[in-house]
Structure 1
């Protein structure tokens, strides 16, 4: 249920409007910066849309080989596609894959064509990339048909369960079992460290640490398995993975091509928690979100992570600020409200007096600020001690807060958090906890109205006021030509992590566009065209 009633928290609509205007002011210079740059991953994603796939015997993708060869010979400031299709037209190779293979051996020559040659190359590149865009469009239509055929879950919030053993062939039966036990969304966590790889692994993978590698084949296998389970259960089971890290645009593209339904995609997570260069992240993020918008994919943002490194009470307003920024960046890239799985978490120290009331205030604030967004509510992790009985109770309180405040996506908490990677039996018990609470209290959104000027009302208004103050200070009177948001990130405003724009992983993969830069994928995504 969506809470629209102004009386729930009695927020001042003028304040809410002002907060959004400040988020736009903070975000717009970053978008302008992103538009002036491209990255190696944006260009590789474009080649993937044109059909280039596969890898050499050392698992180095052909898109990396081709991109690196073009960059070494002519640079990327004009985009990768024009010199690549010029080479094909000139007979360097009969097709894109062969050209990439020749480039890997140093046997292909590239140039930056001019005049009629450039026009012809761009036309053919657009035609090839458009085929990939049409595949994404077709996959979106297929999802819509399957949802119409099998039906959506009848109850909100959707139950989101993580499955990731490292072995895709073990993940599949576990995911299917989780769906049979009541999960509506299956999330396959990526193997630790994949976000720092500047290439996408190839094929079905059977080894991963604390997760399974995100690859196109793994996406295909899991989607096919969940389609089978959806048919059996009579409800469409959604699949989630992670479009973050140094290959964010490529993974987003593969997700669109293989019909994933949700993707972790936060505007600042990679900056703060993986030390990826801010400019690289914002350029990659914008392209990836344009892909998500076209594919009808719901994004999940990562504000919950801030509360693992900063205090959940003192830093509550930074979560709200990040949600407002994520909303702005997402809508600018073309995402609709129903695609904004904005994140927040149940991470207040339970030993604090009134901790549950504080959690309710924060959850209600998010729900009321973003009434049409399927908010992603994250379970306690920071204050799980290893006491499984205490953990199970805390997860029950988390589930109750989600039911009372109308959250859209509820990630299932595990009582063995901080002890072991959950066993299947742990997941079954956790799902029992969720089912009991939602069955017993799922309708509390109708009845729960905090009293006027009571504790919850006052706390929510204070967090909103603090958010406005922080946004005001970010926008401020910037003394540099850099976007003020980048300065705030460098100062450690979010998650207590200081990340300057001149440092971080992947900076060497950022390229400033030339005046004649061309990327047919961006053109097709921004215009909505198919050819």
Structure 2
């Protein structure tokens, strides 16, 4: 069996350091909330819709509470109190605030017990709905074939949700197992979620609850035709991370791009804001049975894939530790890495194989997400197609969980349907041709691949121990991740971080923590 022997002392040291890094943020998770977290609570309470100018009602209510310095108690308390005192539904309270100027902070607060009694039915209703969606997924997976290994994962990115449906259905009929609807460029920097179906996007389609519903329905239809469950993926990242996770849970998405540090490093979102939002977003994902996917492949777009391979491993271990804090189980952690070494480097394939085996060995239960070559894709479509074939070979050989297929026209244009067909044909051929090859191969202990994997592990361990000593925020400020400097109090969204009062209450967070045994 093709496998590597990792230094178990290094593995233990690395995980211990990652635990120290993430558990140093207990003060943040217990002491602070964010405007996005509070908007998520309102959405889970049943508040939806938007003003004519597109401003969503959850934003209107949270902005009202911020203006009145009242968000410290949590949005749930004020809305539930208004429901109780005015005899309104949560939706009606939001509409009264938006259209009639109702000042909910001016309404005298009822007893804590009465407010909780008002909230409980709303919490039970929404969590019951999310649980039913999780059960529906499990029923469909039991009805159709077992999950493939690796999952063939392709993207659609037309900007128009209805065109996305056409392309997604075509890809599913061609053999795709998972469809990722790429999000419109820069949506991660919007501090609100657009409302309704959208037909105009830039480099992708806006993530909205209605778009989720439309695509879920379409993929369920083709699943019935093909007798094959189709996984739906979108992005729970950016300034609305937990809101999008909640919408995904409501509409039965299966996978969500949800990295603890991506927004900080690659979108310049404030570190405190990002860590707080990912904490609640991942808890929602855990409760809904949604598989998270992390973005370590992005490190290799700004850094050399050989010199900085250890930063990928270090980030994977940090992401794993943060995910465990939110209740994500290993079998739902699609930790990421990528095939991004310069193909002109001698033995580049051996380096790639070593890195892929390291990831899969460190995280044996995780449906690891393997990203295709993009940095060195060129206008030579035949060379890119060959690189994608070698990437697919390693994916099958090392048992990756999710194989995001590369497109031979990656460096030229947004893929056509024919490009996607060729990519799926390439992957299916290789997966079948080398299906059991790994059971017939072994590596000597002193092989280059074994040594390289342990070298990267040792570098990652030393790096994690250094970060544990100085603190994650300090390391980010110095640019030690992806060579990008991100100070603790810089970036977008810091003004949306709110210190909690002693009587702060988020009913969904508390119940999810109990049920996830956190």
**Do both share a fold (TM > 0.5)?**
yes
Shift of 1:111: 2.8
SS of equivalent to 1:77: helix
Residue 494 (structure 2) pairs with residue 507 (structure 1): yes
Shift of 1:177: 0.8
SS of equivalent to 1:508: helix
* Counterpart position of 2:145: 151
SS of equivalent to 1:248: helix
Cα distance between partner residues in 1 of 2:106 and 2:230: 46
Which among 242, 246, 250 is matched to residue 239 of structure 2? 246
Structure 2, unpaired ranges of 5+: none
- Relative to structure 1, the CA distance from residue 112 to residue 375 in structure 2 (aligned partners, 3 Å threshold; closer, same or farther) is farther
CA contact under 8 A between 1:304 and 1:343: conserved in structure 2? Answer: yes
Residue 68 (structure 2) pairs with residue 73 (structure 1): yes
Residue 21 (structure 2) pairs with residue 26 (structure 1): yes
SS of equivalent to 1:108: coil
Residue 105 (structure 2) pairs with residue 111 (structure 1): yes
Which among 24, 45, 48 is matched to residue 50 of structure 1? 45
Pairwise CA RMSD: 1.6
CA contact under 8 A between 1:70 and 1:84: conserved in structure 2? Answer: no
Q: Deviations over 1:281-310 (max 9, x none)?
A: 000000000000000000000000000000
* Counterpart position of 1:445: 438
* Counterpart position of 1:481: none
- Relative to structure 1, the CA distance from residue 327 to residue 307 in structure 2 (aligned partners, 3 Å threshold; closer, same or farther) is same
* Counterpart position of 1:233: 226
Shift of 1:447: 2.3
CA contact under 8 A between 1:367 and 1:407: conserved in structure 2? Answer: yes
Shift of 1:127: 2.6
Shift of 1:148: 1.1
* Counterpart position of 1:320: 313
SS of equivalent to 1:60: coil
Q: Deviations over 1:433-464 (max 9, x none)?
A: 11111111122221232222111011001000
Q: Runs (4+) of structure 1 moved beyond 6 Å?
A: 112-115
Give runs of aligned pairs for residues 196-207 of structure 1, distance below 5 A.
196-207=189-200
Cα distance between partner residues in 2 of 1:186 and 1:53: 26
CA contact under 8 A between 2:179 and 2:230: conserved in structure 1? Answer: yes
SS of equivalent to 1:111: helix
* Counterpart position of 1:272: 265
Give runs of aligned pairs for residues 291-440 of structure 1, distance below 5 A.
291-440=284-433
Cα distance between partner residues in 2 of 1:176 and 1:137: 27
* Counterpart position of 2:114: 120
* Counterpart position of 1:488: 475
Cα distance between partner residues in 2 of 1:145 and 1:448: 37
Normalising by the residue count of structure 1, what TM-score does the alignment of the two structures yield?
Answer: 0.95
CA contact under 8 A between 1:130 and 1:524: conserved in structure 2? Answer: no
Normalising by the residue count of structure 2, what TM-score does the alignment of the two structures yield?
Answer: 0.97
Shift of 1:71: 2.1
Residue 160 (structure 2) pairs with residue 167 (structure 1): yes
* Counterpart position of 2:510: 523
Q: Which moved more, 1:10-19 or 1:99-108?
A: 99-108
Cα distance between partner residues in 2 of 1:397 and 1:286: 36
Residue 282 (structure 2) pairs with residue 289 (structure 1): yes
Q: Deviations over 1:458-493 (max 9, x none)?
A: 1001000001110111112x4xxxxx0111111111
Cα distance between partner residues in 2 of 1:26 and 1:117: 39
CA contact under 8 A between 1:277 and 1:506: conserved in structure 2? Answer: yes
CA contact under 8 A between 2:373 and 2:391: conserved in structure 1? Answer: yes
* Counterpart position of 2:85: 90
CA contact under 8 A between 2:97 and 2:104: conserved in structure 1? Answer: no
- Relative to structure 1, the CA distance from residue 101 to residue 113 in structure 2 (aligned partners, 3 Å threshold; closer, same or farther) is closer
Cα distance between partner residues in 1 of 2:169 and 2:368: 24
Which among 452, 468, 474 is matched to residue 475 of structure 1? 468
CA contact under 8 A between 2:257 and 2:292: conserved in structure 1? Answer: yes
- Relative to structure 1, the CA distance from residue 114 to residue 9 in structure 2 (aligned partners, 3 Å threshold; closer, same or farther) is farther
CA contact under 8 A between 1:130 and 1:521: conserved in structure 2? Answer: no
Q: Which moved more, 1:394-403 or 1:254-263?
A: 394-403
- Relative to structure 1, the CA distance from residue 112 to residue 402 in structure 2 (aligned partners, 3 Å threshold; closer, same or farther) is farther
Shift of 1:116: 5.0
- Relative to structure 1, the CA distance from residue 360 to residue 66 in structure 2 (aligned partners, 3 Å threshold; closer, same or farther) is same
CA contact under 8 A between 2:82 and 2:88: conserved in structure 1? Answer: no
Cα distance between partner residues in 2 of 1:348 and 1:44: 41
- Relative to structure 1, the CA distance from residue 439 to residue 296 in structure 2 (aligned partners, 3 Å threshold; closer, same or farther) is same
SS of equivalent to 2:71: coil
SS of equivalent to 2:68: helix
SS of equivalent to 2:234: strand
CA contact under 8 A between 1:240 and 1:261: conserved in structure 2? Answer: yes
